Amino acid sequence: MADKPHPVDIHVGSRVRLRRTLRGMSQQRLAGELGLTFQQVQKYERGANRIGASRLYELSEVLDVPPAFFFEGITGVGRRSAASGQQEDIPPDTAESEQFAKREILELVRAYDRIDNREVRDRLFALVKAVSASIDGASETD
């Protein structure tokens, strides 16, 4: 066994941290919802401790995402070479995590999440998509 965490555990932990942060939830609050200490949540988020299937299901319920969310973007991570039996650590795509790490995006998502009126949310979403499409179209013609 290696001393460092498995790349899959690191990826899943980073997805837990991402979703917890997007929900504006502290480690302490998440730990309380799961009946854990915040230190255990820290270890999960770092990948230092593996998250079992039942705990992953509980996390998906508390964080309001399907269990598959935690594995998105993980293609090819942590495969074992058939020839040598050695693990090939292929780092996960971190572009999505880096994008969400930006404070402005986190604040936007949190604010959007607080809008209770479904019609308002739908219209706002359509507006953002339209503005984005117009910018993408403008940059293609520049």
- Read off the CATH number of the domain in which 37 is found: 1.10.260.40
Cα 35 off chain centre by? 21
Shared-domain flag, residues 5 and 33 = yes
Shared-domain flag, residues 36 and 55 = yes
Paired tokens of 73:
């973007």
pLDDT score recorded for residue 138: 65
- In this structure, what are the phi and psi dihedrals at residue 115, rounded to the nearest 5 degrees? -80, 115
Which of helix, strand or coil describes residue 87? strand
Shared-domain flag, residues 90 and 56 = yes
What is the tally of structural domains in the chain?
A: 2
Shared-domain flag, residues 44 and 73 = yes
DSSP 21: H
Q: Which residues of the chain have pLDDT under 50?
A: 90, 92, 141-142
pLDDT score recorded for residue 92: 46
Shared-domain flag, residues 40 and 106 = no
**Cα(58)–Cα(16) distance, integer angstroms:** 12
Shared-domain flag, residues 72 and 90 = yes
Shared-domain flag, residues 55 and 124 = no
Please say which residue of 80, 96, 112 terminates a domain.
96
Shared-domain flag, residues 34 and 84 = yes
Shared-domain flag, residues 109 and 47 = no
> Domain of 16?
1-96
What end-to-end distance do the CA atoms of the chain give, in Å? 54
Contacts 24+ apart (CB under 8 A), 83-86: none
pLDDT score recorded for residue 90: 46
Closest residue by Cα to residue 1 from 45, 58, 50? 50
**Cα(41)–Cα(49) distance, integer angstroms:** 9
pLDDT score recorded for residue 34: 97
Shared-domain flag, residues 141 and 82 = no
Shared-domain flag, residues 68 and 14 = yes
Cβ-based neighbour number of residue 94 at 10 Å: 12
Shared-domain flag, residues 22 and 60 = yes
